[in-house]
Amino acid sequence: MLKKTVLLIVFSSLSLGLLAQSTSNFTVTPEKPQNGSPIQISYNPVGTPLASAKEISAVVYQYINYHWNAVDLKLFLSEKKWKASFKTPIDCGLLAFKFKSPDTVDNNHDLGYFVMINDKDRKGALAPGAYAGWGLARSPKYGKDIPGYIKFKGISDTATFHWLNQEIYYNQKAKPILALDYAIALKGYLGEKAADRLQLAGKYMTRPEATERDLLNGKYLYQNLLVKKETVDSIQQVLITKFPSGSLARLQAYRSISANSNIDSMISASLRFLGKFPEYKTDEKFDNENRINYGIVYQNLMVFSTMKGYKTDYVSKYADSLSYSMLPSVYYKLIWIPFHRKEGNMDQFAQFSDILVRRFENFKANRPQNLEYFSPKEWEEQYRKAFVSTLSATHIGLLNLKEKYAQALPYAIDAQRELKYNNAEINNEHAIILKKLKMSKELENVLLKSMYNNQASPEMIAMLEEMYVARKKSKAGFDTYLESLKNPAIKAAEESDQKANMIKKEMPAWSMKDLSGKTVNSSDLKGKTVILDFWATWCVPCKASFPGMKIAVEKYSKDPNVVFYFVDTEERGETYKEEIAKYIKENNLPFNVLFDNKVPGEKTNSEVFSKICKAFKISGIPQKLVIDKNGFLRFLSLGFSGSATGLADEMSGLIELTKNAE
């Protein structure tokens, strides 16, 4: 009894001390605001990370109906303090404030600036949501805090239980919403001593009038907190009987989709699933817990039906059902991959791109509910970053292919706001647009900024050369001019990094055949600097890197002591050699191609690459190896960053260091 009394005293002191979180930096008037009423906010940045900020704004997190929603708040400077008026929503129980300048945030040293709201209709009582919001906002392990707002381990289960208990006691309507969190906190607080009270919570969750969500919560409680298998089985039977088309049936149907052995049967199973279990009837919490992802179902229908040449347009049919989080994945698999491989019907992909971009743009004005913790301004930034990083380049490229340059231009301009000319693919498409629209001044600006960042393409270099010759009436001095356009700081940093990463390891011996069937042996290349570029026909970044590698090959074409070999590896099938010969010829690539060897019994031609991967503990392609005149490996370069000029300069730097290595 004494322990319980002490506990109540501690909680009482907590309650009184934390109702408004007033500090020397942050005050609210009135001190005990009511829901639906205006408040005055005063923020003094002295001693905070914003002490020297010239501009300060705020984000207000509102806990409304047990859900976080953020809004922006404009502040004005008065008597060295930043102030604002704010009307508390009628259904809000708790407010949290974040103060920010363009590049700095103050959240009260990760403790947050919180204000608990009083209920205007119940004198002396806090508004619905106040207790729960205050507890859950500081209990990140429950997953109901404000993402990214405060960063600390969190309050104890004991404290979380107290606030949830208070919420349910004063607001009975919160019981079904918070019952499971309450039970989890109770178990964390009392451990095995919580059994009797957990039984009461379980009875409530499994009452005769229980909803499916109540019963699912009860199943979780008996399975994970009380560990009573018989009761779990009993609840499961009730769920099956009472909800024959409910969550458990949906889970079984979802899992059966992937059990199909071919694409046609998978598509049929997916259509049956969506017909019987439409997403608007789903239990999102159950889906998340059991990895039911409607987006994957839509994605499979869109991608596989397109691959198989189905007449039904599942992209148009289901695009508006795609969630914000699934759109990038669908776009990548349906459009990005074939576009960059230059495979398939580009007119069809352009049509699909228009549809998915419209769907994505719909989210710009309509934040998804699970992302409402972003304020409108934050959401605008978040949306633009996501769009630019996942859809922009391909969509602009497809618009350019369709010669819709005026339509593509706003997308390019918006992308440059985010990327600031640091993406070679966007820069190239932007340059094409401006050239086609005869916007010469703007084109030159894009070309110069792209070269300064070393994020350009051979096509852009050709545009610069055309401009240079038009002015100088000669190509003389163009290469020097081109080098002068690059940011010397980028070049210096790259040189320093390359020197720091130089190695000296003995290379395994190898022997492979070239396109003409001639054998090339590593032992015959002593005295030369050798570049081995491992690639495959199915590797998108491998092929994307070829324009940059072409620049490098052409730069050293007259140096007899530098040789490049493009080693085709990890291929399947029987016709890849013919396909590669055709690809090299059609794309005018001055490459010496070697074919990796196929070991008897293996599915792919990967004997040499496997040996090298084992020797140097590497994997993945494109993988470039730079080998010195004595046969020692000096550099490994994995992947492709996207810039042809950047790659060419990288290879040039590695080659020069290797040529001069001892």
3-class secondary structure, 69: strand
7: confidence class by pLDDT, cuts 50, 70, 90: very low
Question: Which whole number is the average pLDDT over 317-334?
Answer: 96
Domain housing 641: 500-659
Residue 351 lies in a domain: yes
Percent of the chain past pLDDT 70, that is, above it, reads: 97
- Do 179 and 304 share a structural domain? no
- Does the pLDDT at position 318 exceed 80? yes
The confidence score (pLDDT) of residue 146 equals: 96
Of 317, 388, 407, 399, nearest to 350 by C-alpha is 399
Q: Are 175 and 92 within one domain? A: yes
Q: Is the pLDDT of residue 569 over 70?
A: yes
**pLDDT given for residue 417 in this prediction:** 95
- How many Å from the N-terminal Cα to the C-terminal Cα in the chain? 81
pLDDT tens, residue by residue, 449-482: 999 999 999 999 999 999 999 999 999 999 999 9
Domain-located, residue 55: yes
Structure confidence by residue, pLDDT tens digits, 51-85: 999 999 999 999 999 999 999 999 999 989 999 99
Measuring CA to CA, which residue among 235, 276, 237 is closest to residue 253? Answer: 276
User: In the chain, how many domains are there?
Assistant: 3
Do 540 and 628 fall within a single domain?
Answer: yes
Boundary of a domain, candidates 225, 241, 261:
225
> Does residue 247 form part of some domain?
no
Domain limit, last residue, from 225, 243, 267: 225
Pair (92, 158) in one structural domain: yes
573: pLDDT confidence band, cut at 50, 70 and 90?
confident
Q: Please give the C-alpha separations between residue 399 and each of 297, 338, 355, 433, 595, in angstroms, as whole numbers.
A: 28, 15, 13, 10, 37
pLDDT band at 440 (very low <50, low <70, confident <90, very high): very high
- Residue 615 and residue 533 in one domain: yes
Q: Can you give the CATH number for the domain in which 201 is found?
A: 2.60.40.1930
Predicted confidence (pLDDT) per residue in 487-515, tens digit: 999 989 999 999 999 999 999 999 999 99
User: Is the Cβ–Cβ distance between 494 and 650 less than 8 Å?
Assistant: yes
For residue range 382-406, list pLDDT tens digits in order: 999 999 999 999 999 999 999 999 9
Q: Cα separations (Å) of 520 from 506, 511, 563, 631?
A: 19, 6, 12, 14
**452 part of a folded domain:** no
Q: Looking at residue 189, what is its pLDDT? A: 97
pLDDT, tens digit (0-9, with 9 covering 90-100), for 245-288:
999 999 999 999 999 889 999 999 999 999 999 999 999 999 99
Confidence bin at 174 (pLDDT 50/70/90): very high
State mean pLDDT over 336-343.
93
322, 210: one domain:
no
Q: Is 84 within the bounds of a domain?
A: yes
CATH number of domain containing 324: 1.25.40
- pLDDT confidence tier of residue 23, bands split at 50, 70 and 90: confident
pLDDT tens digit string along 340-360?
A: 999 899 999 999 999 999 999
Say whether both 77 and 202 belong to one domain.
yes
Whether the per-residue pLDDT at 14 is higher than 70: the answer is no
Q: Which of 130-134, 338-342, 640-644 has the highest mean pLDDT?
A: 130-134
**pLDDT at 105 exceeding the cut of 60:** yes
Residue in 440, 488, 484 with CA at minimum distance from that of residue 463: 440
Residues 6+ apart with CB under 8 A from 346: 339, 398, 401
Residue 6: the pLDDT is 34
Q: What is the mean pLDDT of the chain?
A: 93
DSSP state of 246: S
Instruction: Check residue 152 and give its pLDDT.
Output: 82
Indicate whether 533 and 389 sit together in one domain.
no
- Predicted local confidence at residue 115, as pLDDT: 96
| SS3 category, 344 | coil
* Sheet with 632-638, side-by-side order of all strands: 505-506, 632-638, 623-627, 529-535, 562-568, 593-595, 511-514, 519-521
Residue 151: predicted pLDDT? 85
Do 441 and 528 lie in one domain? The reply is no
Residue 15 pLDDT greater than 60, yes or no:
no
Instruction: Give domain status of residue 474, yes or no.
Output: no
pLDDT given for residue 22 in this prediction: 59
pLDDT of the residue at 548: 95
The whole-number pLDDT of residue 602 equals 87
Same domain as 398, residue 538: no
* In a domain? residue 272: no
Tokens for 117, please give them: 């709201």
Tokens at 327, concatenated:
């759109």
Residue 339 structure tokens: 């576009």
Q: Which of 445, 475, 509 is the last residue of a domain?
A: 445
Read off the pLDDT of each residue in 378-384 and give the average, rounded to a whole number: 95
CATH number of the domain where residue 649 is located: 3.40.30.10
> Which pLDDT score is estimated for 601?
84
Residue 519 domain flag? yes
CA distance 70 to 63: 9
Average pLDDT of span 395-422: 97
Spatial separation of the C-alpha atoms in residues 658 and 625, rounded to whole Å: 11
What per-residue confidence (pLDDT) applies to 4? 38
The pLDDT value recorded for residue 632 is 96
Residues 378 and 511 in one domain: no
CB 114 within 8 A of CB 21: yes
